[in-house]
Amino acid sequence: MKKSEVVSHIFHGHIPKTAKHEKGLGYAPTNIALCKYWGKRDTELNLPHTSSLSIALPDKGSMTTLTLNDKSSETIILNDKEIALDSVFAQRTKAFLDLFRANQKWYLKININMNIPVAAGLASSASGFASLVCALNDLFDWKLHKNDLSILARLGSGSAARSLWTGFVEWHAGVRPDGMDSFGEPLAFEWPELCVGILTMSSDEKPISSREAMQTTVNSSLLYNSWPRKVSQDLSIIKQALQVKNFALLAGTAESNALAMHATMLSSWPPICYFLPETIAAMHKVWDARKQGLQLYFTEDAGPNLKLLFLKEDTARVQALFPEVEIIRLFDQV
């Protein structure tokens, strides 16, 4: 099935043609998965093989402002700088807008402000596409339900399906070929004592995109067969840990899930290894600290940087161990 068919289904064949407001505004946070999305059952629609669960970083995200452009092409401004229309970023954005344009003749001025430390490997595409969808919803007054906005954001980038909400979010894999059951769901848990700290090992561009790495893993990793079972176990343990507020269970499961995801990559061919020597050294430091009684865990995405997980009461000890750590606010109360 094509993306355009999903869009047509959501709008019952009638995609609104006229902007209803002078401006469309949308903000979306980025998110960090505690139980990862790795591998697609449908590469066109970004449908995952498994469900996943994330925590939003409410202050780290994208604010998108849309106005109609008087030129017959898009103008894209990212953090106050105009982007070349032949860049990958612009091409992906334009291809996404084409889904809603069909043969209509509107063009947009897109102003995106991202306060995400790109160097730290936080998913900018997740908050970028989610904020773009919210801004379109506002500009054209679509009045869509958030589940539909989540489905539309997923068509831009899989993990964007989780960026429509703050707090903990589960993205249901769904089983339908059209993906109409594959969207995010906010989970009613708050955990003000929970902290995330970013450890940046490298700000170089990653050697392989997560999109390409996922495909290589699905196509060649012997271990990928066991990934769905691992995810299903981890998801239920994480939800149980959230229910009873068991930090060691939550963070330990998240760490194990991330390592299992990286194991599927290491067993791919050609092998995919996002670890740098500094990444491994930091992992050992975390494990040693844990042996000394500090409740410190990590997760790692498709890049060399670690995201530390710890409780607020241990902030000073974590900062003493890793003076370079950037601590990110998760809940209002923190």
172 binds ligand 2P0 (CB under 6 A): no
CA distance 57 to 123: 11
CB of residue 19 to ligand 2P0, shortest distance in Å: 27
Minimum distance of ligand 2P0 from residue 126's CB (angstroms): 6
168 within 8 A of 63, measured Cβ to Cβ = no
Pick from 64, 93, 125, 163 the residue near ligand 2P0 by CB under 6 A: 125
- For ligand 2P0, give the closer residue by CB, 16 or 252: 252
Task: Read off the DSSP letter of residue 49.
Answer: S
The residues, any chain, with a CB within 8 Å of residue 29's CB and separated by 6 or more, are 56, 57, 58, 59, 60, 61, 127, 163, 166
Rule CB under 6 A: is residue 168 a binding residue for ligand 2P0?
no
Number of amino acids touching ligand 2P0 (CB under 6 A):
16
Minimum CB–partner distance for residue 315 and ligand 2P0 (Å): 25
Helix (H, G, I), strand (E, B) or coil at 56: strand
> Minimum CB separation from ligand 2P0 for residue 68, in Å?
27
Q: Residue 48 or 140: which CB sits closer to ligand 2P0?
A: 48
Angle among Cα 27, 182, 239 to the nearest 5 degrees reads 85
Q: Which of 159, 264, 279, 305 binds ligand 2P0 (CB under 6 A)?
A: 159
19 binds ligand 2P0 (CB under 6 A): no
Q: Is the peptide bond before 48 cis (omega within 30 degrees of 0)?
A: no
First to last CA, the chain: 44
Our finding on whether 60 is near ligand 2P0 (CB under 6 A) is no
Identified binder of ligand 2P0 from the candidate list 9, 49, 211, 239, rule CB under 6 A: 211
The structure tokens listed for 77 are: 């401004």
Backbone angle region of 275, left / alpha / beta, with phi > 0 → left and psi within -120 to 50 → alpha: beta
Is residue 91 within 8 Å of residue 74, measured between CB atoms? Answer: no
Q: For residues 40-59, which are near ligand 2P0 according to CB under 6 A?
A: 46, 52
Q: Which of 19, 37, 133, 250 binds ligand 2P0 (CB under 6 A)?
A: 37
Return the number of the residue (104 or 226) whose C-beta is nearest ligand 2P0: 226
- When asked if residue 210 is in the footprint of ligand 2P0 (CB under 6 A), the reply is yes
Q: Binding of ligand 2P0 at residue 148 (CB under 6 A)?
A: no
Strand ranges, E, within the chain = 24-35, 40-42, 47-48, 52-68, 75-78, 81-82, 108-114, 168-171, 184-186, 194-199, 297-300, 306-311, 326-328
Question: Which residue's Cβ has the minimum distance to ligand 2P0?
Answer: 158
What CA–CA distance (Å, rounded) separates 138 from 125?
20
Q: Give the per-residue contact string, 250-289, with ligand 2P0 (x = CB under 6 A; - = no).
A: ----------------------------------------
- CB-CB contact of 289 with 322 (8 Å): no
Residue of 30, 65, 147, 157 interacting with ligand 2P0 (CB under 6 A): 157
**By C-beta, is 96 or 140 nearer to ligand 2P0?**
96
Residue type, 112: I
Q: Which residues bind ligand 2P0 (CB under 6 A)?
A: 33, 36-38, 46, 52, 123, 125-126, 157-159, 210-211, 301-302
